[in-house]
Chain A
Amino acid sequence: MDFELSDEQRLIQQTAREFAEAEVAPHAAAFDQRAEFPYEIVSKMAELGLMGLPIPEEFGGAGADTISYALAVEELARADASVAITMAAHVSLGTMPFLLFGTSEQKEKYIPSLASGERLWAFGLTEPNAGSDAGATQTRASLGDGTWVVNGTKSFITNSGTRLTAGVTVTAVTGPSSNGHAEVSNLIIPAETEGFTVAKDYHKMGWRASDTHELAFQDARVPEENLLGERGKGFRQFLTILDGGRISIAALSVGLAQACLDASVKYARERTQFGKPIGSFEGIQFKIAEMATRIEHARLMTYKAAWLKDKGKDFAMAAGMAKLFSSRIATLAADEAVQIHGGYGVMEEYPVARYWRDVKIGEIGEGTSEIQKLVIARMLDL
């Protein structure tokens, strides 16, 4: 067993950290308060190569492995979770489906401008009536005269309404299936498609600078070739996409938890009560020591899941566990961080208030904690 990062992994971690500290962290509070999408930061991330980090070089990405990707997401989240999810959703939900399931024409057509970060792409699975039960998709697409006609609504779709968004891949029922379940397929919907409208941004508690919209499809027409990969494979495809996405959320949660730890240690050293820094009180030390231990645990699980994926081994259970655990301990870390800051922790002048609002989504997005447990239990043959 070897816990050492490779030279490339270490350099990517270092670069992402320096970038996050210099270019992201100083602006995080302002973008959060204004709930404003950080276009300039995204363009700098594109320039650095973050928006296509694990995409192969032949499609214009950097060709890094999943561990490097997780390290980068972690470092970004340590500075700003909104920026981290913007990158992670673009990569693992937006771009990966093309790479994993696209035909060679689709790969060539869509991936290069996404890997360079020039454009963004979204993935629309969730619907008003199909959240955890994602298979209950009500969006329908029918094929006639070489054209798909799409009708339905998608909820909470990340990166779907920015000026950079080139389109969204959506799951839709494309017909009845032989075994009684509906046939589900994924369709590629370019942003400019007529009949496709992007509703106003949601008013969110956390990840406020990230872009999230409800999407409506009313007789939206796309050519037949906009079917992603094979017809009827939509259900399998999104399960696979979500497996990878869980590593993103695990890494993002580890980064946020680390930010909570950093802020807590700093404040515990600075704040004096009863004539001593509060960090000299055992009651505070124990909180911080437990926080650090849980983060180490979550980080190891996350890197392990990424490592399994890089080795081409089955990583689904490890990714589900990493996501479940990391998002939980991140919520605990944020809770303790605010507690350690006392009344100042409630004030937006300190970053822990933002961490506390940002961290909860980790337990909800890309499969709730309850769903992670169901997935894990299923893999234990229950």
Chain B
Amino acid sequence: MADRAPGFATLAVHAGAQPDPTTGARATPIYQTTSFVFDDVDHAASLFGLQAFGNIYTRIGNPTNAVLEERVAALEGGTAALAVASGHAAEFLIFHALLQPGDEFVASKKLYGGSINQFNHSYKSFNWNVVWADQDDVSSFERAITPKTKAIFIESIANPAGEITDIAAISAIAKKHGLPLIVDNTLATPYLIRPFEHGADIIVHSATKFLGGHGNSIGGVIVDGGSFDWIKSGRYPFLTSPRPEYGGIVLAETFGNFAFAIATRVLGLRDLGPALSPFNAFQILTGIETLPLRMERHCANALKVAEFLSTHAKVAWVSYPGLPGDKGHALAQKYTPKGAGAVFTFGLKGGFDAGVKLVSEVQLFSHLANVGDTRSLIIHPASTTHRQLSDAQKTVAGAGPEVVRLSVGIEDPADIIADLDKALGAV
């Protein structure tokens, strides 16, 4: 018997979830409990010693969250995953497992603004030092590597402008230097890009966005690709030195190709504490069941909106790699044949004032600081999220005074376009 791996849409509905063993409930129950009873004292000891699989306390693991973890691991083609309270918490736990004080990591300059803040400022308290590289010049990643570098961090589709990153080229540099490549796959989701297939070692998600997809729950997920050889590298003591908290276990020896995910759970999540509420896990899981359908519609709508804007008299430029003339179109054809995502930016000829006017004129688009909702969303970064930066800094961050970011929803495309058209008329 030759068996066949289930397809993406089947995994989106089923992976990690089976009828509840005690009640037969078919939907995944919300296990809204802090703790789980032990079968006996020996069982408790086995669980605390990581010798048995099982549930102890929801800060370390929860059966609802576990379904979400396995679902995302399956969709990404990873070995294991960990769900946490937010995308930022997921990023934090990844670096906590990889970096010692004084270490460096290389990150693309084109990232979600919150990640730029986190790396530039908060991480300084831990003496974790970011070195920035330019994804439009892949060799800049190699030049940024020093003997202290422990990881490389990129976004598959970069927020805010929707640019597509050459993951395979950056992975080649990471492999040459023996570094794990971390890819934030939030804006692509595994439906559009599966970064492990292009050489990523660790994937991070803000599940808040397209995975959950309905703008109702904050969450984050870390996925272990199982590809990085921690023991051979010897540079990641968190995984390869005996852990006193667990009687001297070496996580990379005991847990093999899912050791990274286990490390972020049993050391990171357990000790730092950003646990995901099981209710949020349930909401995100329900969202993921329709991920393929939603992404298809998001991308189709985004392309129509980008085409409309690209010929509009008041629009100076549109940055959407799905458009044939876009500078990222070749990368889009390689990495996102099913669609180039639904988050992108465009520039208004009328500059800052036109941006402010546009977000106040729209009626269907919601003016807010999120992406990846069923609803269409709009923001003028220069007057909101990037307000505190100088004009020069704004331009580097892709948030110049004329820039507007859209997250195109799954409404009727004609209505989305009509709303923009009317608002542009008033600008």
A, B from the same assembly: no
A interface, CB within 8 angstroms of B: none
